[in-house]
């Protein structure tokens, strides 16, 4: 069995070395149809708004990415589908976004899939530090006629998220709340997970709130999936008796169909959308107002939120940064006690040791500093996870976080 350090070293390998092997395809059969621009689509549950594709040569295409709404320097993510004729072709994609480098399209790995469910990571040739405006993906010969290509380990809203929510709502301890509609008419969904009955009144239960703000950071969304699945398992039964867990899988569900990385339809960065003075429909992004108003209702309820987690992806393994609230400065232990609980739960070495966040580093409009400023509650910026190249590893990191919360927040919260 690998030690914790061995696992960290493997997870830190360059993508080209750490990528699992993909079954080799048969060579292109004589007379097989060549790939053409007409075989590609940038529309669907995983799309890339404004992207254009042009043929360069056999199995070689150029993709120019479009920009996010009202953000001409922010590239949309590379999400596309080969509809037919892919089998046996070793595809090369030259991808470019020449008009800006505010956010690099090639900061994280891509993945490809033959069914939209099982994904294989693939590395950029150069990466964003060497070439932020143009880069190349080279794929092994495909073994299927249809291929999905997406960012990180992709998670669509219209197919993947809705299927997950339908599965979870069948559990008796899950309530699905629709807090409003997105600008494109999709439901804004918050899960509430807690035992419907039991020895502890709901008003005495700890409450935790998890939300993904940047819709193109899919690895962090799979972290939430693992968190929910662990909580709904037999292992999480005691935690459900003592705690209330709110989960927002995606604050901006319109985004995956367009490849928007950080924004909603208005082009507002969804993690620069909080208003510490209180939700205000006139000044906030549409979805941000609805989400903050919903959080304020929870804070005014008999089970206010104890901790709030902003769930993101950046380089490395998962990296939690905490702003402690009052319950982490008393007899039940401090934030370092929680750090110890998380280290014990993280058996695979997927999560960095918890550190103190620099309060105000990103401003009070973030969903970490903002709720802490407004309510004084514990807030966690949960970053990282880009190096976790599979759905399973990201899910395991989420399960460890939920297990640690269950262990640290023992018993029930004290009421006045």
Secondary structure (H, E, C), 243-268: EEEEEECCCCCCCCCCCCCCECCCCC
Domains of the chain, by residue range, sit at 4-151, 157-408
| Angle, helices 218-232/162-169, rounded to nearest 10 degrees | 10
Tokens of 245: 């867990």
β-pairing, 187-193 vs 60-64, is unpaired
Structure tokens at 390: 């599979």
The CA–CA distances, whole Å, from 298 to 104, 169, 224, 366 equal 36, 20, 20, 19
Q: What is the pLDDT of residue 331?
A: 62
Residues 6+ apart with CB under 8 A from 113: 119, 120, 147, 148, 150, 154
DSSP state of 105: T
For 4-151, CATH number? 2.60.40.3120
pLDDT value, residue 335: 94
- Total Cβ atoms within 10 A of residue 404: 22
CA distance 262 to 218: 11
Query: In the structure encoding, which two tokens stand for residue 201, read together?
Result: 């009144």
Q: Which residues of the chain have pLDDT under 70?
A: 1-32, 330-332, 415-416
pLDDT at 32: 67
This prediction has a pTM of 0.92
Any idea how long the chain is? Answer: 416
Q: Partners of 39 in the beta sheet?
A: none
The angle at the Cα of 322, spanning 321 to 324, to the nearest 5 degrees, equals 170
Report the alpha-carbon distance of residue 288 to residue 280 in Å, rounded.
9
Architecture of domain 157-408: 3-Layer(aba) Sandwich (3.40)
Q: How many CB atoms lie within 10 A of CB 193?
A: 23
Mark 365-395 as b/e (b = at least 16 C-beta within 10 Å): bbbbbbbbbbbebbbbbbbbbbbbbbbebbb
4-151 and 157-408 share one fold: no
């Amino acid at each position: 069995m690998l030690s914790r350090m061995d696992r960290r070293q493997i997870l830190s390998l360059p993508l080209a070395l750490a990528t699992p092997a993909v079954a080799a395809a048969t060579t292109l059969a004589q007379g097989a149809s060549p790939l053409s621009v007409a075989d590609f689509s940038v529309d669907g549950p995983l799309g890339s708004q404004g992207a254009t594709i042009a043929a360069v040569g056999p199995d070689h295409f150029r993709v120019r990415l479009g920009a996010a709404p009202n953000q001409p320097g922010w590239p949309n993510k590379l999400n596309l589908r080969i509809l037919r004729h892919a089998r046996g072709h070793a595809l090369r994609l030259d991808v470019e976004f020449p008009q800006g480098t505010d956010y690099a399209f090639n900061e994280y790995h891509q993945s490809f899939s033959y069914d939209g469910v099982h994904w294989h990571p693939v590395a950029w040739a150069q990466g964003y530090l060497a070439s932020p405006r143009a880069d190349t993906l080279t794929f092994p010969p495909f073994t299927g006629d249809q291929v999905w290509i997406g960012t990180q380990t992709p998670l669509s809203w219209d197919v993947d998220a809705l299927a997950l929510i339908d599965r979870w709502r069948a559990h008796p301890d899950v309530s699905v709340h629709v807090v409003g509609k997105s600008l494109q008419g999709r439901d804004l969904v918050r899960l509430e997970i807690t035992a419907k009955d039991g020895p502890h009144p709901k008003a005495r239960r700890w409450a935790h709130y998890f939300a993904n703000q940047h819709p193109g950071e899919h690895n962090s969304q799979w972290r939430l999936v693992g968190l929910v699945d662990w909580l709904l398992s037999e292992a999480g039964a005691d935690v459900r008796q003592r705690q209330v867990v709110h989960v927002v899988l995606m604050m901006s569900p319109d985004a995956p169909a367009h490849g928007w990385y950080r924004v909603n339809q208005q082009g507002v960065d969804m993690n620069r959308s909080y208003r510490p003075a209180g939700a205000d429909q006139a000044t906030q992004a549409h979805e941000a107002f609805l989400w903050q108003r919903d959080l304020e209702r929870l804070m005014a309820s008999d089970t206010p939120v104890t901790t709030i987690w902003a769930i993101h992806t950046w380089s490395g393994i998962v990296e939690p940064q905490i702003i402690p609230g009052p319950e982490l400065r008393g007899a039940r232990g401090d934030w370092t006690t929680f750090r110890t609980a998380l280290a014990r739960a993280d058996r695979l070495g997927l999560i960095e040791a918890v550190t103190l966040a620099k309060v105000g580093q990103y401003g009070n409009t973030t969903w970490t500093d903002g709720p802490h400023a407004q309510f004084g509650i514990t807030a966690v910026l949960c970053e990282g996870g880009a190096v976790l190249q599979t759905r399973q590893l990201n899910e395991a990191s989420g399960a460890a976080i939920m297990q640690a919360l269950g262990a640290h927040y023992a018993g029930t919260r004290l009421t006045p």
